[in-house]
Amino acid sequence: MKKTSLLIFSLLFSAWLFSQETTKTFTLQEAIDYALINNRSAKNAARDIEAAEKQKWETTATGLPQIDGAVDYTNWIKQQVSLLPAEIAGGTPGTFVPVTFSPKQNLNATATLSQLLFDGSYLVGLQSAKVYLEISENAKIKTDLEVRNAVINAYGNVLLAEENLNIVTKNIDVLQKNLDETTKIYENGLTEEESVEQLQITLTGLENYLNNVERSKNIAYQMFNITLGIDLNEPISLTDNLEVLTLQNISLELLETDENIENSIDYQIAKNQEVSKELLLKLEKSTFLPRLSAFINGGYSGFGETFAFASNNQEWYGSSLFGVNMTIPIFSSGMRSAATQRAQIDLEIAKEELTETEQQLKFQISAAKSDYQFAIEEYQNKRQNLNLAERIEQKNQTKFFEGIASSFDLRQAQTQLYTAQQEYLQSMFNVITKKSELETILNTVNY
């Protein structure tokens, strides 16, 4: 018997240890740090930066020396014939002799070194590659800000669901005790049946709401996992407390932050767009300039009636040349001029969009500060309301069992308490999320 008990205990302890090892635990900051590495959008944004760095080198390399090799092998199935005047070989004047000028097989191996000397589009391309990299880096920053905001919302939703579940469960326990006591009083003929029915209605509503809260909690956990980039159903545990987290996120100093629009990542992205349009205009203008390049070519050729090019007796004939190539645009029927004018129009549009972005950001910052301040004020108000609702419910509960208050009065006080509890939880969640939204717009996040 003792051995059996010891075995069961060992198995349960091993299972507990395994669950502790497999369950990931997160504070809010740990969740943010994890998501910035493992969230799928964040990972793709990092890959975009890597691709932009490769694109930058790809563009740079087009202006550096290029070496290309070629090997050509030909085998005349039927050799081409040329006609020569017969008198060259002592034949009859006015007649022709068929001759072939090349052996049946030949092999040519060449290597060409080319170097771009001047190309206006190449110079613009170098600038564009740098801007493209900056655009990718800014996109990564924006993605990280969005991921951080999403994690805070998802984390807050889980805490909200957990706190809601605890409160509703406690309310049901209290209400069940009230119902049991009231039922006994009714059975003793000291109260009306309506009192029992009123409490039963309230209890049924709470139990139904509890089922919905449990489903919402599961969905909140799944959303949290997706945001972090882990398996949908992987078990996780959150260690922060909703109320403590709320107090940590009350920062009146943030409301006094200077509205420096240029720090906003949305402004920087809009500025990138303006610069990219300027470069496209430069690119179109560069098409009016000549293009200059140089090359050196060298190779060897071998000939024979049979394929014996690997033989030591094979003779090879070397050749080399140097050349310069200049392409000068002369006339395009107005195509280049139209393209330049179109690029100029696109630049003007980008400038207008940048101005619009500035105005929108000023409005968004002002609105976000207002929302955050209201969330703080609402939290303080809802906390006071909850204290009042708890006292009112407690007084009505005492009055009810003393026979002073009706069951309707008790039910109304209980409903008011439940509403105050939900509003208080929501106000804490709003403080956390509204601060995150303001930090995202201001780009004041320090990772």
At 331, which helix (H) or strand (E)? none
**Structural contact between residues 243 and 383, judged by C-beta atoms closer than 8 angstroms:** no
d(CA 312, CA 327): 44
Q: Output Rg (C-alpha) for the chain, integer angstroms.
A: 40
Ranges of residues in the chain with a pLDDT under 50 are 1, 15-20
Check residue 446 and give its pLDDT: 61
Residue 300, domain member (yes or no): no
Residue 302, domain member (yes or no): no
For residue 121, give the nearest of 291, 293, 343, 332 by alpha carbon: 291
Q: How many domains does the chain have?
A: 1
Residue 231, domain member (yes or no): yes
Helix ranges, 103-192 (H): 120-187
Q: Which residues pair with 293 in a beta bridge?
A: 116, 325
d(CA 157, CA 151): 10
Chain Cα centroid distance, residue 234: 22
Q: Dihedrals φ, ψ of 446, to 5°? A: -110, 115
Check residue 3 and give its pLDDT: 54
Residue 11, domain member (yes or no): no
DSSP 88: G
Check residue 8 and give its pLDDT: 58
d(CA 275, CA 51): 20
Give the side-chain half-sphere CA count within 13 A for 242.
23
DSSP 189: T
At 342, which helix (H) or strand (E)? helix 335-401
d(CA 225, CA 34): 11
Helix, strand, coil share of the chain (percent; to 5): 65, 15, 20
Question: pLDDT tens digits for 154-205?
Answer: 999 999 999 999 999 999 999 999 999 989 988 888 788 888 998 999 999 9
Residue 269, domain member (yes or no): yes
Residue 412, domain member (yes or no): yes
> Can you give the CATH number for the domain in which 236 is found?
1.20.1600.10
Residue 225, domain member (yes or no): yes
Chain Cα centroid distance, residue 168: 37
154 is in which domain, residue-wise? 25-83+118-292+331-442
Check residue 76 and give its pLDDT: 85
Question: pLDDT tens digits for 385-437?
Answer: 999 999 999 999 999 888 888 888 988 999 999 999 999 999 999 999 999 99
Q: Identify residue 220 by its one-letter amino acid code.
A: A
d(CA 350, CA 276): 9
d(CA 253, CA 107): 80
d(CA 247, CA 33): 21
Longest dimension (CA), the chain: 147
Residue 73, domain member (yes or no): yes
Check residue 7 and give its pLDDT: 54
Alpha-carbon distances, residue 233 vs 13, 36, 154, 218 (angstroms): 23, 20, 15, 9
